[in-house]
Amino acid sequence: MIITMAFSEIELKKIDKLVGGLCRERIPVHLKDQLSLEYRVKGHEVVVYERRPYWSDPNEITETPVAKMKFLRTTNEWRLYWMRRDLKWHGYDMLKGHRNRIVMDCKIYSLASPLPDFPELK
Protein backbone atom coordinates (compact mmCIF):
# COMPACT_ATOMS: atom_id res chain seq x y z
CA MET A 1 0.00 0.00 0.00
CA ILE A 2 1.33 3.45 -0.91
CA ILE A 3 0.30 6.31 1.33
CA THR A 4 0.88 9.82 0.02
CA MET A 5 0.58 13.03 1.96
CA ALA A 6 -1.74 15.67 0.61
CA PHE A 7 1.07 18.25 0.79
CA SER A 8 4.80 17.72 0.97
CA GLU A 9 6.86 19.36 3.72
CA ILE A 10 8.04 21.97 1.22
CA GLU A 11 4.45 22.74 0.18
CA LEU A 12 3.41 23.01 3.85
CA LYS A 13 6.22 25.52 4.44
CA LYS A 14 5.05 27.55 1.44
CA ILE A 15 1.47 27.46 2.73
CA ASP A 16 2.65 28.63 6.14
CA LYS A 17 4.73 31.40 4.61
CA LEU A 18 1.88 32.67 2.43
CA VAL A 19 -1.31 31.83 4.31
CA GLY A 20 0.16 31.93 7.80
CA GLY A 21 1.97 35.15 6.98
CA LEU A 22 -1.23 36.72 5.71
CA CYS A 23 -3.10 35.61 8.83
CA ARG A 24 -0.41 37.05 11.10
CA GLU A 25 -0.26 40.37 9.21
CA ARG A 26 -4.01 40.88 8.78
CA ILE A 27 -4.94 41.72 12.39
CA PRO A 28 -4.05 45.22 13.65
CA VAL A 29 -1.53 45.26 16.51
CA HIS A 30 -3.99 46.80 18.99
CA LEU A 31 -6.43 43.86 18.46
CA LYS A 32 -3.96 40.94 18.53
CA ASP A 33 -4.89 39.98 22.11
CA GLN A 34 -8.61 39.91 21.22
CA LEU A 35 -8.71 38.60 17.66
CA SER A 36 -6.63 36.35 15.45
CA LEU A 37 -6.77 34.73 12.03
CA GLU A 38 -5.44 31.20 11.93
CA TYR A 39 -5.48 28.32 9.48
CA ARG A 40 -5.60 24.55 9.46
CA VAL A 41 -4.49 22.15 6.77
CA LYS A 42 -6.54 18.99 6.31
CA GLY A 43 -5.98 16.83 3.29
CA HIS A 44 -5.90 19.10 0.25
CA GLU A 45 -7.73 21.91 2.03
CA VAL A 46 -6.56 24.99 3.90
CA VAL A 47 -9.24 26.58 6.08
CA VAL A 48 -8.79 30.08 7.49
CA TYR A 49 -10.81 30.95 10.55
CA GLU A 50 -11.20 33.86 12.93
CA ARG A 51 -10.69 33.34 16.69
CA ARG A 52 -12.19 35.78 19.16
CA PRO A 53 -13.85 35.81 22.58
CA TYR A 54 -17.51 34.83 22.54
CA TRP A 55 -19.70 37.93 22.81
CA SER A 56 -21.64 36.82 25.92
CA ASP A 57 -18.70 35.16 27.71
CA PRO A 58 -15.27 36.68 27.05
CA ASN A 59 -13.60 33.65 28.68
CA GLU A 60 -14.93 31.38 25.93
CA ILE A 61 -13.22 31.46 22.53
CA THR A 62 -15.21 31.09 19.32
CA GLU A 63 -13.90 30.16 15.88
CA THR A 64 -15.61 31.28 12.68
CA PRO A 65 -14.52 29.94 9.28
CA VAL A 66 -13.60 32.72 6.86
CA ALA A 67 -12.27 31.05 3.73
CA LYS A 68 -11.32 27.65 2.40
CA MET A 69 -8.85 26.85 -0.35
CA LYS A 70 -8.88 23.43 -1.93
CA PHE A 71 -5.99 22.22 -4.06
CA LEU A 72 -6.86 20.04 -7.03
CA ARG A 73 -3.64 18.21 -7.76
CA THR A 74 -4.96 16.73 -11.01
CA THR A 75 -5.33 20.21 -12.53
CA ASN A 76 -2.76 21.97 -10.33
CA GLU A 77 -5.37 24.57 -9.32
CA TRP A 78 -6.47 26.20 -6.09
CA ARG A 79 -10.21 26.72 -5.60
CA LEU A 80 -11.49 29.36 -3.20
CA TYR A 81 -14.63 28.96 -1.11
CA TRP A 82 -16.42 31.27 1.28
CA MET A 83 -19.02 30.47 3.92
CA ARG A 84 -22.44 31.97 3.39
CA ARG A 85 -24.80 32.59 6.28
CA ASP A 86 -26.37 29.19 5.55
CA LEU A 87 -23.07 27.81 7.00
CA LYS A 88 -22.23 26.04 3.74
CA TRP A 89 -19.13 26.57 1.65
CA HIS A 90 -19.76 28.26 -1.69
CA GLY A 91 -17.26 28.48 -4.52
CA TYR A 92 -15.93 31.83 -5.54
CA ASP A 93 -16.35 31.26 -9.27
CA MET A 94 -14.55 34.38 -10.48
CA LEU A 95 -11.26 32.71 -9.58
CA LYS A 96 -11.75 29.46 -11.48
CA GLY A 97 -8.79 28.47 -13.56
CA HIS A 98 -6.14 30.42 -11.67
CA ARG A 99 -3.35 27.88 -11.60
CA ASN A 100 -0.48 27.76 -9.14
CA ARG A 101 -1.78 30.49 -6.89
CA ILE A 102 -3.03 30.65 -3.37
CA VAL A 103 -6.04 32.84 -3.91
CA MET A 104 -7.10 33.36 -0.33
CA ASP A 105 -5.57 36.84 -0.30
CA CYS A 106 -8.40 38.07 -2.49
CA LYS A 107 -11.13 36.86 -0.12
CA ILE A 108 -9.65 38.07 3.14
CA TYR A 109 -8.51 41.51 2.03
CA SER A 110 -11.28 42.32 -0.40
CA LEU A 111 -13.10 40.47 -3.11
CA ALA A 112 -12.36 43.41 -5.41
CA SER A 113 -8.60 43.46 -4.89
CA PRO A 114 -6.38 42.17 -7.68
CA LEU A 115 -5.21 38.62 -7.42
CA PRO A 116 -1.58 38.33 -6.33
CA ASP A 117 0.77 36.14 -8.29
CA PHE A 118 2.93 33.78 -6.25
CA PRO A 119 5.71 32.72 -8.62
CA GLU A 120 7.37 30.63 -5.93
CA LEU A 121 4.48 28.16 -6.19
CA LYS A 122 4.93 27.60 -9.93
What pLDDT sits at residue 98?
52
Task: For residue 68, give the 3-state DSSP assignment.
Answer: strand
Give CA–CA dist 76/1, Å, rounded.
24
**Do the Cβ atoms of 87 and 81 come closer than 8 Å?**
no
Give CA–CA dist 14/3, Å, rounded.
22
Neighbours of 39 (CB within 10 A): 19
Is the pLDDT at 116 greater than 50, yes or no? no
pLDDT digits (tens, 9 = 90+) for 52-95: 998 899 899 999 898 898 888 887 778 888 888 898 998 876 65
Edge-to-edge strands of the sheet including 77-83?
Answer: 36-42, 45-53, 61-72, 77-83, 89-91
